[in-house]
């Protein structure tokens, strides 16, 4: 894509400001780390252990902070109206991400989209990236390219203020599959919770040129 000088400058400016914020505001990078971890938590299999009132309060609060009050209310309605909202979300999680009828909607693994297989070479590339950064998978972990682990990894990078690593991971290993995954879930889900969670992750991991802030070329 050809970018005009002004848009290149603008992009550069954003990167600089991002860079600057990271360098100077370490609390911000800790906030980013927390947010990644929270998003990872949102994508765990629903369990009353963690999916409790506190969790939803934090979730609604977060949505409110971003101006997504209507969406938060929609989720609250779905949760409050249900006789067993955990089971609703478990069924929906299973259908979307594990095994479903008519078929699993969106397995949360990068290599499903990049290699058309579980545990393809993309998963290995992902694991190698973790390793290069000094991280490893725990024994009880899921596959390295599982959405939850990728978000956990991004959180750890943010915590270490490795913003260059974070950006490289996002552009090379995260966005290429996530941008295929996200619309599948958003369009197919029958529960507003998952639509909101994948949108939240999407927004937060988008490249600047993807998010519509780029100036017209004219």
Among 3, 28, 78, 184, binds another protein (CB under 8 A): 28
- Of 128, 145, 209, nearest in space to 181 by CA: 145
CA distance 70 to 23: 35
- Report the Cα–Cα distance between both ends of the chain, in Å, rounded: 13
Let me know: does 123 contact 109? Beta carbons within 8 Å. Answer: yes
Q: Does 12 contact another protein by CB under 8 A?
A: no
Q: Does 13 contact another protein by CB under 8 A?
A: no
Nearest distance, CB of residue 216 and another protein, angstroms: 18
Residues 31-90 that bind another protein (CB under 8 A): 31-32, 34-35, 37-38, 40-41, 44-45, 49-50, 52, 54-55, 57-58, 61-63, 65-71, 87, 90
Nearer to another protein, 80 or 132 (CB): 132
Nearest distance, CB of residue 149 and another protein, angstroms: 5
Q: Does 153 contact another protein by CB under 8 A?
A: yes
Nearest distance, CB of residue 187 and another protein, angstroms: 13
C-alpha 27 chain-centroid distance: 21
Among 8, 23, 141, 164, binds another protein (CB under 8 A): 141
Q: What is the DSSP string of 2-43?
A: ---HHHHHHHHHHHHHHHHHHHH-HHHHHHHHHHHHHHHHHT
Among 148, 161, 179, 214, binds another protein (CB under 8 A): 148
Nearer to another protein, 53 or 218 (CB): 53
Question: Three-class SS of residue 109?
Answer: strand
Nearer to another protein, 4 or 203 (CB): 203
Q: Does 104 contact another protein by CB under 8 A?
A: yes
Segment interacting with another protein (CB under 8 A) among 1-9, 75-83, 127-135, 175-183:
127-135
Q: Does 26 contact another protein by CB under 8 A?
A: no
Q: Does 161 contact another protein by CB under 8 A?
A: no
* Contacts of 98 by beta carbon, 8 Å cutoff, 6+ apart: 104, 107
Q: Which helix (H) or strand (E) element contains residue 205?
A: helix 192-205
Q: What burial class does residue 32 get, using C-beta atoms within 10 Å of its C-beta: 0-12 exposed, 13-18 middle, 19+ buried?
A: buried
């Amino acid at each position: 894509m050809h970018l005009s000088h002004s848009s290149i400058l603008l992009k550069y400016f954003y990167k600089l400001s991002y860079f600057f914020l990271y360098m100077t505001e370490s609390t911000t990078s800790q906030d980013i780390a927390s947010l990644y971890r929270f998003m990872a938590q949102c994508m765990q299999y629903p369990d009353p252990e963690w999916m409790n009132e506190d969790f939803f309060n934090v979730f609604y609060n977060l949505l409110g902070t971003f101006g997504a009050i209507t969406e938060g209310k929609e989720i609250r309605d779905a949760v409050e109206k249900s006789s067993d909202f955990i089971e609703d979300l478990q069924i929906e999680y299973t259908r979307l991400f594990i095994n479903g009828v008519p078929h699993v909607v969106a397995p949360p693994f990068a290599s499903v989209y990049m290699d058309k297989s579980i545990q393809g070479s993309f998963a290995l590339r992902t694991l190698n990236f973790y390793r290069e950064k000094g991280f490893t998978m725990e024994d009880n972990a899921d596959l390295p390219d599982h959405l939850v682990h990728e978000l956990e990894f991004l959180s750890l990078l943010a915590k270490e203020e490795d913003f260059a690593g974070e950006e490289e991971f996002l552009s090379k290993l995260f966005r290429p599959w996530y941008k295929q995954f996200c619309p599948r879930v958003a369009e197919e889900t029958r529960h507003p919770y998952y639509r909101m969670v994948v949108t939240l992750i999407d927004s937060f991991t988008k490249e600047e040129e993807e998010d519509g802030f780029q100036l017209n070329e004219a």
